[in-house]
Amino acid sequence: MFIALEGLDGCGKSTQLRALAQRLRQCGIDPVIVQEPGGTPVGEKIRVILLHQEKLKMTPLTELLLYEASRSELTETVIRPALAAGRWVLTDRYALSSLAYQGYGRGLDLELVRELNRLATGGLNPQVTFLLDVPVEVALRRKGSMRDRVEESGVEFYERVRRGYLTEISRIAGGVLLDGQKEISGLSEEVWSYIRPLVAVPS
Ligand code: TYD
């Protein structure tokens, strides 16, 4: 199984990913956990270029291509081999992030982003994608570091990203919209309620 968690910075997806991994381990499944951008030697270098505090100025297309390069490397060298070996893979962000941030947020052509997503993933899609939806102000309050990025990109940018996520999550196969404002343990129960049926009961 390949499962993705998505949402605005500060939506709580990293916490939910850890909780889900813990539940899986209790069922005897040791998931491979990855995060985008990054997760490979090249990807980690790209992550520094993209997210370093002194963010380099770049065009939206350059930004998209860097995220896609990181995704391609991660997909080919980590995710596909893990899935082929029968492992579960949990990812903190995947191709939907590029559609939301670079497509809806930065205003790049959505078809172009979809096409590059297809190229980078080789058509691999998570079976389940959870969107933890929170209002932009809530994400802002939760995550101090997001303030710097908001100052760079503006609150409207994050509003567009959120709208993009909400539009797309209902269209993708296996998309699940969750209220990220719910308390942590209730939310992890909800996540688990979607995943538990997918865990094979040992005979
Ligand atoms: P990160 O520090 O991992 O944020 P978080 O832990 O909140 O998810 O940084 C990821 C940042 O990169 C986040 O601001 C979203 C952005 N991003 C894109 O703009 N496009 C993408 O395709 C991906 C994967 C991430």
Determine if ligand 1 sits within 6 Å of the CB of residue 16: no
Element (H, E) at 123: none
Q: Give the domains, in start order, of the chain with CATH numbers.
A: 2-198 (3.40.50.300)
Cβ atoms 155, 136 nearer than 8 A: yes
**Does the pLDDT value for residue 146 go beyond 80?**
no
DSSP code for 39: S
Quick one: what percent of the chain has pLDDT higher than 90?
A: 83
Three-state secondary structure of 53-92: CCCCCCCHHHHHHHHHHHHHHHHHHHHHHHHHCCCCEEEE
Cβ atoms 108, 51 nearer than 8 A: no
Average pLDDT, the chain: 93
pLDDT at 142: 80
Residue 177 and residue 7: Cα distance in Å, rounded?
Answer: 10
Determine if ligand 1 sits within 6 Å of the CB of residue 15: no
Residue 132 and residue 114: Cα distance in Å, rounded?
Answer: 21
The alpha carbon of 9 and the centre of ligand 1 are apart by a number of angstroms equal to 7
Note the pTM of the prediction, 2 decimals: 0.94
Residue 8 and residue 19: Cα distance in Å, rounded?
Answer: 18
**Structure tokens, 196:** 């538990």
Q: What is the side-by-side strand order in the sheet with 89-92? A: 32-35, 89-92, 2-6, 128-133, 175-179
Cβ atoms 99, 175 nearer than 8 A: no
Q: In testing the pocket of ligand 1, which one of 5, 9, 75 has its CB within 8 Å of the most ligand atoms?
A: 9
The alpha carbon of 25 and the centre of ligand 1 are apart by a number of angstroms equal to 26
**Does the pLDDT value for residue 110 go beyond 90?**
yes
| DSSP β-bridge partners for residue 128 | 3
**pLDDT-derived band at 2, boundaries 50, 70, 90:** very high
Quick one: what percent of the chain has pLDDT higher than 70?
A: 93
Determine if ligand 1 sits within 6 Å of the CB of residue 12: no
pLDDT at 149: 61
| Main-chain phi, psi angles of 5, to 5 degrees | -115, 135
**pLDDT-derived band at 56, boundaries 50, 70, 90:** confident
Determine if ligand 1 sits within 6 Å of the CB of residue 93: yes
